Amino acid sequence: MKGPRGPAGSLQAVEAVLRNPAVYALARAIPEKSAAGRPRSHPAYMWLVYLVLVSVWRSARQVEAELADPRVWRFMRHTVKGMFPEEPSMWLADRPMRRHHYLYGRRYLTDPAILEKIRQIHSGEAVKLARHIGLLDPQGPGSQTHPDLSRMLYGDGKVITPLYRAEPTTCGWTS
């Protein structure tokens, strides 16, 4: 069901992304801004947040439109400031992030060396999350070679239809 501004619960999705500690851990793989040049308009973690929000609102242009809504941006700023009250470097700017900021940041998100760091961090964060929800308990029943069903996740093999048809090499992505 869609509401007037996108999928029902999209603000809850925004909040879930902003409150996910893995987002900030993954952002540590992105190099700090060098001393030369113009300062960044938004913290590096926002490139990852924007990327995730593309899956919520279906396009980078729609994300830009949603973030331009003063209520959405105010909500995001309030959420982040509440999470990092003593770290002004993490706070969001007064003006919302725009699509061109995200497109600039994608050069980092497509760099093979940075992607490798992101993969390593993601693996660690995935293990933390699994342990937090009760999976991968080293003291749980079974063994590494014969784990108990209570220590496993199951997927049905559903194939997700891509949002658009493009070859990975035509859009700047490589696997």
The predicted structure's pLDDT at residue 139: 80
> How big is the chain by its Cα radius of gyration, in Å?
19
The structural domain count of the chain equals: 1
Domain with 81 in it: 1-175
Residue 175: per-residue pLDDT: 45
E-assigned strand segments in the chain: 2-3, 6-7
Q: What is the DSSP string of 71-117?
A: HHHHHHHHHHHHH-TT-GGGSPPSSPP-HHHHHHHHHHHT-HHHHHH
What pLDDT does 159 receive?
64
Residue 131: the pLDDT is 84
Please give the Cα distance from 110 to 8 (Å, whole number): 31
- Per-residue pLDDT at 168: 55
pTM of the model: 0.74
Mean pLDDT split into 10-residue runs, the chain, 175 residues: 54 93 94 78 94 92 94 96 96 96 90 93 90 80 77 65 61 49
